[in-house]
A = this chain, B = another copy of it.
């Protein structure tokens, strides 16, 4: 089959290749390629002729060919946890902002409680379909034979503290949780509850920061009532139920996610227990809805969009120059205690 020599600007349909542009501009394909990728290497007027031809033909480089040849796809994979809360949507916005500014695309993947998804996602990486990975979930993804952190692709984790040496964007988890403890202590609380997250590093850190301050204030850790949770609103409701059924009721409860705090408050409200009059509640994350619920939730705000943005920036640096000084391979951002209506001095 003979390829047409002149492109038809009227249609975008794929058949316009670099050859067409080269023909029209009267240069070689190499020059076209250079004019597009490394403008500095091409003479001014040649470049303009090429650009003109690009415009006339409606040429758009074929990404597959470029990826194959250049061995990079300009695509990043973002792995979500099973449960996608609004917090992650906000992260995503920051990520996309940074990525798209540098011409990178964004493949998303979540595990969706289907184990084979893990393998699929790792294969995406192994197949060189993506240049880098942003991990939003604590549970490291792995599959039978492949582990994502063993692939030679840059990885950035977000909000997963711990001893891992993966470049990360973190927040001051301990400091945030400590601020909650101080705030509650200042209000005069002496008995505390804590709604846990699904087991993992975040929970450890927040628990650590929370208890450390309380311990210093003379509160016995064993006296803190722990309600099991998994970050979801539903688990917050469960925690609320436990609170109600138990005779041991702390006057202040710290739920380490906003959704849990909101579910918790809802259960208490229905049981006729007033927040903050009877019990103070604090969340963690700072999602939009905390300003809309009743009462408005006191919480620790994470700079979610910034976190996403920084993570993507870090990844791009990693992709481009594989050598980042060890001390710059992680960033820790601060959090902010947002005091609203759900906390008050204890009534007794």
Contacts and interface: CB of A to CB of B under 8 A. Distances in A.
Interface of A: 12-14, 58, 60-65, 67-68, 71, 73, 75, 84, 86, 88-89, 92-93, 96-97, 100, 103, 105-110, 112, 114, 117, 120, 123-124, 126-129, 145-146, 150-152, 233, 262-263, 266, 269, 288-289, 291-294
Given A73-B64, A129-B63, A129-B64, A146 B96 contact: no
- What 3 pairs across the A-B complex have the smallest Cβ distances? A64-B67, A294-B294, A64-B68
A17 to B, nearest CB: 11
Nearest to A95: B108
Contacts of A13: 151-152
Nearest to A77: B105
How many chain copies does the complex carry?
2
Contact of A112 (B71, B96, B114): B96
Contact of A109 (B73, B106, B123, B128): B106
Contact of A105 (B65, B71, B107, B110): B107
A58 B114 CA distance: 23
A25 to B, nearest CB: 18
Contacts of A289: 233, 262, 289, 292
Nearest to A150: B12
Nearest to A75: B107
B75 A84 contact: no
Contacts of A92: 84, 108
B109 A62 contact: no
A128 to B, nearest CB: 6
Given A13-B152, A128-B14, A292-B293, A110 B86 contact: no
B292 A127 contact: no
A214 B330 CA distance: 59
A260 to B, nearest CB: 11
A152 B14 CA distance: 9
Contact of A117 (B62, B84, B100, B263): B100
Contact of A292 (B89, B152, B266): B266
A266 B340 CA distance: 14
A266 B289 CA distance: 11
A84 B73 contact: no
Contacts of A128: 14, 62-64
Nearest to A9: B145
Given A14-B128, A128-B62, A262 B292 contact: yes
Given A112-B97, A294-B293, A126 B60 contact: yes
Contact of A86 (B86, B107, B123): B86
Nearest to A124: B105
Given A106-B108, A262-B292, A127 B84 contact: no
Contact of A64 (B64, B89, B124): B64
Given A12-B126, A86-B86, A145-B58, A93 B110 contact: yes
B127 A112 contact: no
A88 B262 CA distance: 21
A251 to B, nearest CB: 21
Contact of A12 (B61, B97, B106, B151): B151
Nearest to A68: B64
A258 to B, nearest CB: 10
